[in-house]
C-alpha cells in the first residue's frame, strides 16, 4: 500500500463516528453517546468514537461469555486457533502504513517511529503467540498419597483458559498494548473485552476490523472504547469477568484490585516506573546517546523510561552535557511531519501534569540544564528537559513524570548506587552502562526490577517477559511467562 493510499484510508476511517465491536457486530453505544479524540499536535478533534458505558460493557461480557461457552472458538483445534492469531500478525503488516498513520494522528508519536517500532512489534507479538497456541501443556505427576497405602493413581494436569477476560490499556503504545494483551489471551483460548484508552481508541478499533477479517468467531474479541471511570470501572468490577489485565497508572491499578475483589477475579497489572539508568566511569561513549534515548523515546511516555540518570562523578559533567546537547537538537513537531523527531504529549491533561512537575522542580530548587517548558502554544508539546541538583525527597525524583524529563545525579561506588537505584517504590526497569561485565551482572542481580538492560535500553521482544517488582505491577507480559496469567491449572486424578 502506498503512503497516499494509507492516508486516504485513514481520512475515511476518521471521517465518520467509529462504532464499538461487540459480538462480531459494529454498534453504537446503548446511550447513543460519542466522545471526541483529539489530534494532540493541534488539540483539534480527530474523530468521534462511540462512548462505551456500563450497559455496553455488560453486552460485551455477555457476548464473550456466549462465545466462550457455546461458540466455535472453544471447539476449535489449537492449530486452527494458532493460524487465526498468525493471520492477525500478517494483516497488521499488510496494513502497516495505515495503522502507523492512525497511531501517529491519534497519539502524536512520529510516523517513522510508529512504522518502524509500534506496528511491526505488534505484528511480531501475534506471530510469536500464534506458536504458543499448540504448546500449552500440562504434566503427568507421580503421586504418593501416604494415607492410602498400596493404591495406584494416574494424575495429570490440564492447562485451561481462564474464561472471559477484561483488558484495559493505556495510550502510550495503543496498538502495541492491544497486541500484548490480546495475543496471549487468544493463544490460550480465552474470550476478551478490550477497553482502549479514551485518548487513543482508533488503532484498537481498526485492529478489531482486522481480527474480524482474519475470521475470528463472533464474540471472541470485543472492543469497547470509553472512559476509565465508567466503562473501565465496570469491566474491572463485572461479576461475569474471570480475569482483568491492566496497564496504566499505579493509582488506577489499586482501584482495579479493589474492583476485582467483588468476585475475586484474577488480576495482572503493569504499572508505573521511575527507572534508574546507571552510567559507570568506564562506559563507552554510546552511553550518552543511550541515556538520551532511555528518557526521550516516545516523549518519555514509557512506563520504563530511564527517568533517573545516575552518572559516576568522574563522567557526570560530560554525560549531562552530552544528553543536554541531544535534548537541544531534538526537532519537535507534528508526528506526520517527516523531519519530526519528537511529537506532542498525548493530551492536555498530560501537558498540564508534566509542566506541573517542571514547575515543582524549579520551586523546590533543582537546576534545569536544558528545556523546562512547554514548546509553542498549539498542541501539547514539551521541551526535552534535563534537570540536576535535585534532592531525593523531591516530587520530580520520586514520582513518575511520564514526559521527556530526566533528573541526573552523580554517584561514587557500586554499593551506593545499588541502594540509590532501589530507593523507589517502583521496580520496572533499569539500565547499566559499563565495559566491566562482572560489575554489570553483579549490579543486575542487586536491582529490584523486572527488566535490566546492560549497554542498551528500551530493547523489547515478544519472547522476553516484561513486568514489575514492587509497585510496578503483578505478573509478566510476553514470553511464555504471560501464559500463566491466562490459564488455570486443573489436576485430574484417577485411581487405577
Ligand atoms: P490511567 O491509569 O488513568 O489510564 C489507563 C487506562 O485505565 C485507560 O484505559 C483508562 O481509561 C483506564 N482507567 C482509568 N480509570 C479507571 C478506573 N477507575 N477503572 C478502570 N479503568 C480505568 O492513566 P492516565 O490517567 O491516562 O495517566 C496518568 C499517569 O499514569 C501518567 O502520567 C503515567 O504516569 C501513568 N501511566 C502509566 C502507563 C504505563 O504504561 N504503565 C500508561 C499510561 C499512564
Ligand atoms: Mg486517569
Annotated active-site residue 302? The verdict is no
Cell numbers of 72, please?
A: 466455535
| Atom number of ligand 1 nearest to Cα 428 | 41
Q: Residues with beta carbon inside 6 Å of ligand 1?
A: 168-170, 172, 195, 197-198, 227-229, 232-233, 236, 247-249, 252, 255-256, 270-272, 303, 353, 400, 402
Cell numbers of 258, please?
A: 479493589
Q: Which ligand sits nearest to residue 197's alpha carbon?
A: 1
Among residues 303, 383, 399, 477, the one annotated as catalytic is: 303
Annotated active-site residue 229? The verdict is no
Closest residue by CA, ligand 1 atom 40: 303
Whole-angstrom distance, CA of residue 113 vs CA of residue 102: 13
Cell numbers of 148, please?
A: 492410602
Whole-angstrom distance, CA of residue 228 vs CA of residue 236: 10
**Per residue of the chain (496 residues), what is the pLDDT tens digit?**
676 799 999 999 999 999 999 999 999 999 999 999 999 999 999 999 999 999 999 999 999 999 999 999 999 999 999 999 999 999 999 999 999 999 999 999 999 999 999 999 999 999 999 999 999 999 999 999 999 999 999 999 999 999 999 999 999 999 999 999 999 999 999 999 999 999 999 999 999 999 999 999 999 999 999 999 999 999 999 999 999 999 999 999 999 999 999 999 999 999 999 999 999 999 999 999 999 999 999 999 999 999 999 999 999 999 999 999 999 999 999 999 999 999 999 999 999 999 999 999 999 999 999 999 999 999 999 999 999 999 999 999 999 999 999 999 999 998 899 999 999 999 999 999 999 999 999 999 999 999 999 999 999 999 999 999 999 999 999 999 999 999 999 999 999 9
Q: Which ligand sits nearest to residue 357's alpha carbon?
A: 1
| Atom number of ligand 1 nearest to Cα 271 | 41
The alpha carbon of 170 and the centre of ligand 1 are apart by a number of angstroms equal to 6
426 beta partners: 470
Amino acid at each position: 500500500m502506498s503512503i497516499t493510499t494509507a492516508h486516504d484510508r485513514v481520512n475515511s476511517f476518521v471521517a465518520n463516528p467509529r462504532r464499538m465491536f461487540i459480538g462480531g457486530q459494529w454498534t453504537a453505544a446503548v446511550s447513543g453517546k460519542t466522545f471526541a479524540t483529539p489530534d494532540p499536535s493541534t488539540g483539534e478533534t480527530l474523530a468521534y468514537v462511540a462512548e462505551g458505558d456500563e450497559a455496553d460493557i455488560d453486552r460485551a461480557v455477555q457476548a464473550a461469555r456466549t462465545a466462550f461457552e457455546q461458540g466455535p472458538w472453544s471447539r476449535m483445534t489449537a492449530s486452527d486457533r494458532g493460524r487465526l492469531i498468525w493471520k492477525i500478525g500478517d494483516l497488521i503488516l499488510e496494513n502497516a502504513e495505515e495503522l502507523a498513520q492512525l497511531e501517529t494522528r491519534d497519539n502524536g508519536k512520529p510516523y517513522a517511529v510508529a512504522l518502524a517500532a509500534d506496528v511491526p512489534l505488534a505484528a511480531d507479538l501475534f506471530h510469536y503467540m500464534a506458536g504458543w497456541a499448540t504448546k500449552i501443556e500440562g504434566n503427568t505427576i507421580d503421586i504418593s498419597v501416604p494415607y492410602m497405602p498400596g493404591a495406584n493413581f494416574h494424575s495429570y494436569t490440564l492447562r485451561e483458559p481462564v474464561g472471559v477476560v477484561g483488558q484495559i490499556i493505556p495510550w502510550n503504545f495503543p496498538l502495541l498494548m492491544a497486541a500484548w494483551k490480546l495475543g496471549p489471551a487468544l493463544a490460550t483460548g480465552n474470550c476478551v473485552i478490550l477497553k482502549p484508552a479514551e485518548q487513543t481508541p482508533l488503532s484498537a478499533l481498526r485492529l478489531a476490523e482486522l481480527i474480524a477479517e482474519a475470521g475470528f468467531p463472533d464474540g471472541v474479541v470485543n472492543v469497547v472504547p470509553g472512559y476509565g471511570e465508567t466503562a473501565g470501572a465496570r469491566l474491572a468490577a463485572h461479576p461475569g469477568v474471570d480475569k482483568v489485565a491492566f496497564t496504566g497508572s499505579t493509582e488506577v491499578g489499586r482501584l482495579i484490585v479493589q474492583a476485582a475483589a467483588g468476585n475475586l477475579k484474577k488480576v495482572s497489572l503493569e504499572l508505573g516506573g521511575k527507572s534508574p539508568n546507571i552510567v559507570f566511569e568506564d562506559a563507552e561513549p554510546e552511553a550518552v546517546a543511550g541515556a538520551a534515548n532511555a528518557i526521550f523515546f516516545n516523549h518519555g511516555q514509557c512506563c520504563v523510561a530511564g527517568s533517573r540518570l545516575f552518572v559516576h562523578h568522574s563522567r557526570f559533567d560530560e554525560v549531562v552535557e552530552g544528553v543536554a546537547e541531544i535534548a537541544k537538537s531534538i526537532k519537535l513537531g507534528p508526528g506526520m511531519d517527516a523531519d519530526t523527531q519528537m511529537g506532542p504529549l498525548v493530551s492536555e491533561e498530560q501537558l498540564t501534569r508534566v509542566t506541573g512537575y517542571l514547575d515543582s522542580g524549579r520551586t523546590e530548587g533543582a537546576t534545569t540544564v536544558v528545556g523546562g517548558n512547554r514548546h509553542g502554544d498549539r498542541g501539547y508539546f514539551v521541551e526535552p528537559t534535563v534537570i540536576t541538583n535535585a534532592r531525593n525527597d523531591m516530587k520530580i525524583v520520586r514520582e513518575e513524570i511520564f514526559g521527556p524529563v530526566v533528573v541526573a545525579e552523580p554517584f561514587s561506588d557500586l554499593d551506593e548506587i545499588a541502594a540509590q537505584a532501589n530507593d523507589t517504590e517502583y521496580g520496572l526497569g533499569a539500565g547499566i552502562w559499563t565495559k566491566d561485565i562482572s560489575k554489570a551482572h553483579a549490579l543486575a542481580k542487586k536491582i529490584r526490577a523486572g527488566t535490566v538492560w546492560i549497554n542498551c535500553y528500551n530493547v523489547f521482544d515478544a519472547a522476553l517477559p516484561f513486568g514489575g517488582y514492587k509497585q510496578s505491577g503483578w505478573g509478566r507480559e510476553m514470553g511464555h511467562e504471560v501464559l500463566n496469567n491466562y490459564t488455570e491449572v486443573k489436576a485430574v486424578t484417577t485411581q487405577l
